[in-house]
Amino acid sequence: MRLANRVAATKASGIRKIFDLAADLKNPVNLSIGEPDFAVPSPVRDAACEAIRAGRSGYTPTQGNREFRRALLESMNGKYSDSQVLVTSAVSGALTLAYLSLLEQGDEILVPDPYFVSYKQLAHVVGATPVFYDTYPKWKADPAGIEKLITPRTRAFILGSPANPTGAVYTREELAAIAAVLKKHDIVALSDEIYSAFCYGCEFVSFGEVYENTLVMDGFSKSHAMTGWRLGYAAGPEELIEAMTKFQQFTFVCAPAPVQAAGIVALRTDVSEQIAVYAKKRDLIYSGLIAAGYEVEKPDGAFYILPKVPRGTDVEFVGECVKNNLLVIPGSVFSEKATHFRIAYTAPEEKIREGLEILRRLR
Ligand code: PLP
């Protein structure tokens, strides 16, 4: 079969290779999974069941269920108007539509290194080039460094805060300094805010608050543990939302109707207890890694931590971990460098302790 060139250009996620390696392990300590380990809050589950029973199973408008959209606009404190919001098939849907709408063959998008895998691979899907801005070793971008990478082909900039895989959370001042560079060169920002609920003792600031020309993307996969429900949204410049809506019409069509109905309830459902549990897990994993002698930056958000490997390459070290029944991910899955490994602390406390004990022995 003759496949399109974009197939070869796009690499399959390296995470899957770890799952293949792990297939033979019995009851491994699994600190590799980027999904919350708490249940979807029961009022949200009830709302979805009720919507299904009530027969709310048809297509919704392409932009999304009207009532849900209204609730979303309210939750964003009236910053956006109705024509500036689009309900999407989770943040992955929003990212896909944004890349399709903004990037031509040969265009460049500024992508953080380390990155969430899709930021890089979606560029290849649309024939664009990801240009990496370095955030090593403290996981923060340097605005002057970003400016040096801007060329006449630069069309967009993407940032996640709180970030996967680093857990970094940008302050208002840090975002404003980046925004000043983007504004000078009139570059649109894509802001992935999927971990906005997961900030530990720090303020979450949306890039949309400091820079007008920003597409904000958020969703319910992480905050409400709804990874398989596929619900998210994008908000930002009307022209871009209109373009994305056009592509949604011919691709995703709409996010699942009963899930959109449940989204109204999700917006009203407090998850602060679940977040408090994750703050404790963050403390446990960070202090455990420091005590074991790992070189690691303290993450302020999300549910990942990215320590430096103690020796060799990331793949070699993760191989040792797997042999010792611990699943973590090589940093090079999320980076052009091979020096770190990602731990997702979305596991019960006793599993995190077991994982730390294995890491202490391997140090
Ligand atoms: N963005 C980031 C930074 C993520 O870590 C993920 C999932 O791991 C996504 C987006 C995709 O999330 P979803 O499509 O479930 O909303």
Specify the CATH number for the domain of residue 216. Answer: 3.40.640.10
Domain boundary among 244, 267, 290: 267
CATH (domain of 22): 3.90.1150.10
Domain identity same for 140 and 257: yes
Domain identity same for 80 and 149: yes
Pick the atom of ligand 1 nearest to 90's CA: 16
Distances (CA, A) of 271 to 266, 274, 325: 9, 5, 32
Residue of 194, 233, 329, 334 with the most ligand 1 atoms within 8 Å of its CB, for mutation? 194
**Helix, coil or strand: residue 128:** coil
Which DSSP string do the residues of 178-242 spell out, in sequence order? HHHHHHHTT-EEEEE-TTTT-BSSS----HHHH-SSEEEEEESTTTTS-TTT--EEEE--HHHHH
Domain identity same for 225 and 251: yes
24-79 residue pLDDT tens: 888 899 999 899 999 999 999 999 999 999 999 999 999 999 999 999 999 999 99
In sign, the C-alpha dihedral spanning 41, 300, 209, 90 is: negative
Pocket of ligand 1 (CB under 6 A): 34, 90-92, 116, 160, 164, 192, 194, 219, 221, 227, 232
Reading the chain (363 residues) residue by residue, the pLDDT tens digits are: 999 999 998 887 767 777 777 788 888 999 998 999 999 999 999 999 999 999 999 999 999 999 999 999 999 999 999 999 999 999 999 999 999 999 999 999 999 999 999 999 999 999 999 999 999 999 999 999 999 999 999 999 999 999 999 999 999 999 999 999 999 999 999 999 999 999 999 999 999 999 999 999 999 999 999 999 999 999 999 999 999 999 999 999 999 999 999 999 999 999 999 999 999 999 999 999 999 999 999 999 999 999 999 999 999 999 999 999 999 999 999 999 999 999 999 999 999 999 999 999 999
Give residue 280's pLDDT. Answer: 98
If you measure from the C-alpha of residue 314 to the centroid of ligand 1, how many angstroms do you get, rounded to a whole number? 23
Task: Give the phi and the psi of residue 48 in degrees, each rounded to 5.
Answer: -70, -45
Q: How many domains does the chain have?
A: 2
Domain identity same for 184 and 96: yes
Domain identity same for 152 and 9: no
Q: Which residue range(s) make up the domain with 327?
A: 5-40+271-362
Q: C-alpha angle 286/288/292, rounded to 5°?
A: 120
If you measure from the C-alpha of residue 36 to the centroid of ligand 1, how many angstroms do you get, rounded to a whole number? 12
Domain identity same for 168 and 130: yes
CA-nearest residue for atom 8, ligand 1, is 34
Per-residue burial over 8-39, b if 16 or more Cβ lie within 10 Å, else e, is: eeeeeeebeebeeeeeeeeebbbbbbbebbee
Give residue 59's pLDDT. Answer: 97
From the CB of residue 215, how many other CB atoms can be counted at a distance below 10 Å?
A: 28
| Whether the Cβ atoms of residue 248 and residue 88 lie closer than 8 Å to each other | yes
Domain boundary among 247, 267, 287: 267
Per-residue tokens: 292: 């074991």
93-143 residue pLDDT tens: 999 999 999 999 999 999 999 999 999 999 999 999 999 999 999 999 999
Domain identity same for 285 and 315: yes
Domain boundary among 201, 233, 267: 267
If you measure from the C-alpha of residue 360 to the centroid of ligand 1, how many angstroms do you get, rounded to a whole number? 30
Pick the atom of ligand 1 nearest to 227's CA: 15
| Whether the Cβ atoms of residue 160 and residue 240 lie closer than 8 Å to each other | no
Domain identity same for 144 and 22: no
From the CB of residue 55, how many other CB atoms can be counted at a distance below 10 Å?
A: 9
Domain identity same for 194 and 281: no
Residue of 15, 92, 166, 233 with the most ligand 1 atoms within 8 Å of its CB, for mutation? 92
Pick the atom of ligand 1 nearest to 232's CA: 16
Give residue 14's pLDDT. Answer: 66
Beta carbons within 8 Å of 186's beta carbon, 6+ residues apart: 213
Domain identity same for 209 and 354: no
Domain identity same for 74 and 52: yes
Distance CA 190, CA 98 (A): 8
Q: C-alpha angle 87/90/96, rounded to 5°?
A: 90
CA-nearest residue for atom 7, ligand 1, is 34
Domain identity same for 196 and 109: yes
Distance CA 22, CA 26 (A): 9
Query: Residue 91 corresponds to which amino acid?
Result: V
